[in-house]
Chains A and B, each alone.
Chain A
Amino acid sequence: MMQSLTPDVEVRLSVGQCVRTLTTSNEKEEVTKTLHTLTSYLDDGPQSTITSAQRAEFSRAHYTRTLQFLISNINADWLQLLTVAQCTELWDGLFLRGPPDQTLLVLMDGISSMSSPSAGLDRLVSILERFLQSGRLTVLLWTRCQGKGLSDSPQLRETLLGRLVALPDLTANQLHHHNKTIFLPQQYYPLLARDMLTVLERTCQALRDRKDCSLTFVAQALGKACVQGHSGLVFGVLAPRLSFCTRSDMVWQRVCWKLLENVPERWLESVLTGMVQAVNRPDALSRIMGNLVLKNKKAQFVITHKLLLLQYKYETRVLSILLGYLAQDRERRPLLIQVLRSLCQAWANPSAVRHTPLEQQLYVSRALLLCVGLLSDAELQDLRSELLQCMLGGMQSHLDSSVVRVRRMGMVVGECLSSRMDVNGAKLKFEYEHDEETKELLSLMTPLSEEETEPLDDRLDLSQDVKGQTVPSQAVPSQAASVAQKSGADPDSELDSDDELTPYDMSADQEMSQAAPPRYLRDCLEAVLSSEDPVRVDLSLRAIEGLVRKNTSTAREVSVELSKVLLHMEDRYNTVGFLSLRQAAMVALTVTDSVPVTEYLTTEFYSMNYSIRQRLDILEVLIMSAQELSQPITDKGGPSKAIQRVTIDTPLYPGDDPIHWRQVVERRIQSKTKRLSKGVTHPPAKPTPNRYAPVAGHFFFPLLRNYDRPQVTFDLLGSDHLVLGRLIHTLGLLMHLSVNAPVATQMGRALLDFVWAVRYHVDQMVRRGVLFAVCSVFLSMPSQSLLVELSDQLFETRAWLAGMTRRMWLKRAQSRCSCSCSVCVNLR
């Protein structure tokens, strides 16, 4: 009669019997026997009487329920009857030997539903730990690969994926501080990745044995883990191994391609970004990814557009891998050219130059240079006209910028492009200072060296402990070597401390020039004007400042003429420090003879046929002279004065001790003296006349005269942003320096009128200048006249400032603006 029953009924009856027994019985023998019966459904022991059909039926229909039953009775009395060994063997065994997907679901449900600190929870956690450690995840993934359980519902699949990928989150939520290390993301995701690798390995084996496998589930798990932000950990394990395995094995390559193809589209992006960051060479990426970019629209978008043009956080290495990948295969070359076109457009776009962050521009420049470096000469020939177009437009927009880094970037990229395009023609060459950034950009033109081989990590073992052990053993000899080096250097350095004498500063020890410096200002003027002798010009230029300050009366006679000569002077002989010398001379002239020289300079500022450099020089000279004039007159004695003072003060043979004995005594007295109250210790500053105040107007007003009168070579309100920005800065500074001067009120009024017209200028440098100017107006004008004179403009300015603050807030540059706002608030 038993034989006539179908297996499912039979199993149902048997399991039902077991459950009933366990619920009611308290006898040890009986419980043990029942558990044995249940276990026997899971694996076929030698004396097993269970048929495979029965086993399948149990796994399909009853396993989950049995486990749920066990968990719900985790605190039952019969469990206490068993010994620890029996418990581990029978109770835990039921969890660890059955179908792992069901176990995982039941365990995770159990863990999340248990109250937090309890013995039952601890038990489940330890089972889960053993579940992970004994490689049940591999079994789980592998069963899914083999096509079993394909019949299950999408919901179940989703839940399983969710539990699998979010295991660290779920356990952390439930266990808080008592979490196990294996559940931490740093441990769990590499474990998951290693399990995936094992499964991929088995897949390869199965394919060789001509069996079908499905990688859908593994791909989904990979995608889900990546999209949850663990791509770094996962690919840290996957990428090196895949890169190694795919090197010679076509089957591995096919498996990798299939894996990536099977990643659902919504998760593909995070998988790809994780991958390109983890591989170390373009050919590795090419082997792992295959021609995915050609088959999958999403992948193509991510690789050719999003990573290059929309995001800019990746390091240069990633860029070169990415572009190298595109360049590796003949079928992908068109994509590279397409990328080059879009990069060109992005780089040359004037609006992008003005409005995108500098880091992004740098990123695009890097990508562009890398891309150009990868193109062959024939391809370049085809693209030449487009590239030229891009280069010229882009150069213009970059060089127009007021930001130094942008300009420099434009120059470097322009140089590189031109040198790459014209194989034998002329090249662009700019003069700029080389820094880290430009060097890096220039280095991108030389392609990655091919011989740089991958590390031959054959035994990229699935256990990391071995590596951890080898590291210290390697470190020991190197430490020993460094110790040896040190001990080797030590005696030498002791010997080397030649004398115990420390050298003085010897930087002033320069070569002496043969010719004598000119002694008269007129000689200097003549030399600078007409001499062809570099030494004489050099000496004269150096002498001018001193001579001007020494003989003010002579300087007054030739001030304007000399200023004119200096302003037009060119660095014909490559004099050391030419610019600063010329500037110092002009400042000295302006300070000595303010009115005529400022009149000359301010007139010249607006006249024709000057270069931008010269106009900026004029502004700088005006600023520095105003600064010098506004400072109190101090002794500007050379070393001779200092010596005289020393000569007077020091007694004979004072030793080398610079502290005078009087000072020592004074200090001792001070330290022994007790003071009940401290009064003013420093004498108040001595009042000195402000030399700037009477001439401030001569510096200021002429500069405001002609700004709206465009000329052929100079259009202040048009394209000459740079000069306009500097002009406003200069005016602001002149305003700032004229604090307390009687003319400050008129100056402030005029300045505010002027900057009002350009407060919404397109160039940020001009806008910054306006802010600065407004600040200095408010700070320098006498407060009583502020309200009287500017009452109508104050409210508008305040509204404008508030608007600026709000916008700047977004750009994280509010400090400058908020300072002006605080100024404004102080006014109230």
Chain B
Amino acid sequence: MARPAPAPLYTLRGAGSPLNALHFGCCEGDPPLLFSGSGQGSVHVWNLTTRRAEKVLEGHSGASVTWLNTLHSRDTLISQGRDMRVCLWDLAEGRGDVTDALWTGSVGFCRCSLLETGPGRWLLAHAGEAMEEVKIIELPSKSPVCALIPQAKLGMVMCIKLWQPDSSPGPLLLAGYEDGSLALWDVSQRSVLSRAAAHPEPVMCLDFDPAGQRGISGSSEKSLASWMLDGQHRLQLQEPVALVNPGISQLCIRGDRKIVASAGWDHRVRVFGWKKLRPLAVLQHHTDIVLSLAFSDHQDPRNRMLAAGSKDQRISLWSIYNQGSSDTG
């Protein structure tokens, strides 16, 4: 007998516009925080103990915030907006000011990808001025590292993921393009290692699990594509996962590599087991498209929640498959 479908733990209202980006800041310190980026350019900082918005940051001049992350501690926030800027925020001691800004020139929806390369040094990948271009810069110096432009015509870059593999010296970058293909770039060589036509439609989102060398990508179709990297850095497509309704706006693999969640255009969040991509749960609460997802990075695995932001201006928080013993039952 299957357990009844789960209900959300609680919901956060009051953002006042669709929620395009979510990021947890639970790592250190109390109380745990959740950052959300809205369609009207504001970043809300939610205190998850009081469940109220602690602070609202306005810095993208009304243009929608598409991506959020934190640098070394949650005192430094990095946000990407559709005003073609990436902003760095100083939140320490109650401040809320933009300390630095970077002009990307990208008019698309492609979210940035951040990679820590050393203490106090990061690489940031973002879509560039040209449609198919991905630029990589170093933070905090803002010095450009390289620009990756594919030779073939792949259309606009839709989503990227930057990571540092154990095997090769330089970082690798996965990019999904408008024509539905995925490309694996070697950043240090500036060359495409492998390409695969994963979808017939534009790739909307992807996530990659470096430890398992496997990834998953979504599009506007009724299926998810899963793929893996073999020893020679070649992309191998695997069996796709069928969905009930088409359209996926974000995919998120949880840090412990047990589950993956998808934000669906059908108002539902789906949870799959990561090992075999077996459907596990359908989280049904929102009344409009789910736009963003985030897994909590809390130290205690039991408190690692899933947050989903939707076009219905609400954020729902779910506690799912995070208690080891009670979930195996």
Binding site for B on A (CB under 8 A): 498-512, 639, 642-643, 646-647, 650, 652-657
Contact = CB atoms under 8 A, between A and B. Distances in A.
A787 B305 CA distance: 68
A657 B3 contact: no
A511 B268 CA distance: 11
Contacts of B244: 509-511
Interface string B143-162: 00000000000000000000
A643 B9 CA distance: 8
Contacts of A503: 2, 278-281
29 contacts: A498-B275, A499-B258, A499-B275, A499-B280, A500-B327, A501-B258, A501-B273, A502-B329, A503-B278, A503-B279, A503-B280, A504-B6, A504-B281, A504-B282, A506-B279, A508-B5, A509-B244, A512-B267, A643-B7, A643-B10, A646-B7, A652-B49, A653-B302, A653-B305, A654-B319, A655-B302, A656-B322, A656-B323, A656-B326
Contacts of B7: 639, 642-643, 646
B48 interface: yes
B223 interface: no
A647 to B, nearest CB: 4
B118 interface: no
Nearest to A495: B276
Contacts, number: 107
Contacts of A511: 244-245
Nearest to A642: B7
A505 B278 CA distance: 13
Given A499-B258, A643-B11, A504 B319 contact: no
B105 interface: no
Interface residues of B, number: 47
B10 A646 contact: yes
A458 B155 CA distance: 81
Of A500, A501, A502, most B-chain CB atoms within 10 Å? A501
Contacts of A646: 7, 9-10
A254 to B, nearest CB: 66
Given A503-B2, A503-B278, A656-B319, A643 B328 contact: no
A541 to B, nearest CB: 21
B4 to A, nearest CB: 5
Contacts of B51: 652
Interface string B269-285: 01001111011111011
B123 interface: no
Nearest to B2: A505
Interface of B: 2-11, 32, 48-49, 51, 244-245, 258-259, 266-268, 270, 273-276, 278-282, 284-285, 298, 300, 302-303, 305, 319-323, 326-329
A504 B10 contact: no
Contacts of B9: 646-647, 650, 654
Contacts of A507: 2
Contact of A501 (B48, B245, B270, B280): B280
A647 B2 CA distance: 24
B interface SS class: loop
B276 A499 contact: yes
Contacts of A504: 2-6, 280-282
A406 to B, nearest CB: 37
Contact of A508 (B284, B302, B323, B329): B284
Contacts of B320: 656
A498 B319 contact: no
Contacts of A655: 302-303, 319, 322-323
Contacts of B329: 502
Given A508-B282, A643-B285, A646-B10, A656 B302 contact: yes
A777 to B, nearest CB: 42
A505 B273 contact: no
B311 to A, nearest CB: 14
Contacts of A652: 32, 48-49, 51
Contacts of B285: 639, 643
Tell which of A650, A653, A655 has the most Cβ of chain B within 10 Å. A653
A501 B10 contact: no
A512 B278 contact: no
A502 B327 contact: yes
Contacts of B326: 656-657
Given A498-B276, A502-B3, A509 B282 contact: yes
Tell me which of B282, B285, B320, B328 has the highest count of chain A C-beta atoms within 10 A of its own C-beta.
Answer: B282
B227 to A, nearest CB: 19
A505 B244 CA distance: 15
A512 B245 contact: yes
B5 A653 contact: no
Contacts of B321: 501, 656
Nearest to A648: B10
Q: Which 5 A-B pairs have the closest CB atoms?
A: A656-B323, A499-B273, A498-B276, A504-B281, A505-B2
A657 B323 contact: yes
Contact of A656 (B275, B300, B327): B327
B59 to A, nearest CB: 28
Given A498-B276, A639-B285, 13 more contacts: A499-B258, A501-B259, A501-B327, A502-B3, A503-B278, A512-B266, A643-B10, A643-B285, A650-B9, A652-B49, A653-B303, A653-B319, A655-B319
A509 B268 contact: yes
